[in-house]
Amino acid sequence: MSFRLSYRADPGNPWFSWQYVRDNSETVLNALREHTTLTLRAVLIAALIAVPLAVVAYWFRPLTGPILALTGVLYTVPSLALFAFVAPYLGIGVATVLSVVVLYALLVIVRNTVAGLNQVPAEVREAAEGMGYGRWGRLLRIELPLALPGILTGLRLATVSTVALVTVGVVIGRGGLGQIIFAGFQNNLYKAQIMTGTLLCVLLALVLDLLLVGAGRLLTPWLRGRTG
Amino acid sequence: MSAATNPVSQAVVWLNDPLNWTNPGGILDRLGEHVSISAAAVLVGCLVAWPLGLWLGHTGRGGGLVVLVSNLTLAVPTLALLTILPLTFLGFGRPAVVVALAVFAVPPLLANAYTGVRQVDPQTREAARGMGMTGAQVLRRVELPLAVPYLAAGFRTAAVQVVATAALATFVNGGGLGEIIRFGFGLSIAVGGGQILAGGLLVAGLAVSVELLFAFVERLVTPRPLRRVRRRAGRRAADAVAGS
Render pLDDT for A98-146 as a digit per residue (tens, 0 to 9).
999 998 888 889 989 999 999 889 899 889 989 999 889 999 989 999 9
A-B CB pairs within 8 A amount to 133
> For residues B158 and B42, is the Cβ–Cβ distance under 8 A?
yes
* pLDDT tens track for B44-99: 999 999 999 999 998 888 778 887 887 778 788 888 888 888 888 887 788 899 99
ipTM: 0.79
pLDDT for B233 beyond 90: no
pLDDT of residue B228: 62
Distance CA A224, CA A218 (A): 9
Distance from CA of B31 to the nearest CA of A (A): 14
DSSP string, chain A: -HHHHHHHH-----S--HHHHHHTHHHHHHHHHHHHHHHHHHHHHHHHHHHHHHHHHHHSHHHHHHHHHHHHHHHHS-HHHHHHHHHHHH-SSHHHHHHHHHHHHHHHHHHHHHHHHHTS-HHHHHHHHHTT--HHHHIIIIIHHHHHHHHHHHHHHHHHHHHHHHGGGGGGT--THHHHHHHHHHTTS-HHHHHHHHHHHHHHHHHHHHHHHHHHHHH-GGGHHHH-
Mean pLDDT by 10 residues, chain A (228 residues): 48 77 86 93 94 92 87 83 86 88 89 91 90 90 90 92 90 87 83 88 92 89 68
Q: Which domain holds residue B72?
A: 2-241
Distance from CA of A141 to the nearest CA of B (A): 25
Selected residue of A64, A76, A80, A83 to mutate for chain B interface (largest B Cβ count, 10 A): A80
DSSP string, chain B: -GGGGSHHHHHHHHHT-HHHHHSTTSHHHHHHHHHHHHHHHHHHHHHHHHHHHHHHHHHT--HHHHHHHHHHHHHS-HHHHHHHGGGSTT-SSHHHHHHHHHHHHHHHHHHHHHHHHHTS-HHHHHHHHHTT--HHHIIIIIIHHHHHHHHHHHHHHHHHHHHHHHGGGGGGT--STHHHHHHHHHT-HHHHHHHHHHHHHHHHHHHHHHHHHHHHHHHHHS-GGGHHHHHHHHHHHHHHHTT-
pLDDT of residue A1: 43
pLDDT of residue A228: 44
Phi, psi of B46 (to 5 degrees): -65, -45
* pLDDT tens track for B101-156: 999 899 999 999 998 999 888 899 999 999 999 888 999 899 998 899 899 999 99
List of chain B residues whose C-beta atoms are within 8 Å of the C-beta of residue A111: 239
Write down the mean pLDDT value for chain B: 84
- The total number of structural domains that make up chain B: 1
Distance CA B141, CA B163 (A): 32
Q: Say which range, A160-164, B76-80, B172-176, B230-234, has the weakest mean pLDDT.
A: B230-234
Distance CA B225, CA B8 (A): 45
Contact B80 A194 (CB under 8 A): yes
Q: Domain A39-219, what fold?
A: MetI-like fold (1.10.3720)
CATH number of the structural domain spanning residue B77 = 1.10.3720.10
- Between CA A209 and CA B154, with CA B104 as vertex, the angle to 5 degrees is 105
* pLDDT tens track for A190-207: 888 888 899 999 999 999
pLDDT of residue B240: 42
pLDDT of residue A34: 92
Distance from CA of B195 to the nearest CA of A (A): 9
- Nearest CA to A94 out of A208, A172, A207 is that of A172
pLDDT for B238 beyond 50: no
pLDDT of residue B97: 92
List of chain A residues whose C-beta atoms are within 8 Å of the C-beta of residue B208: 76-77
> For residues A67 and A56, is the Cβ–Cβ distance under 8 A?
yes
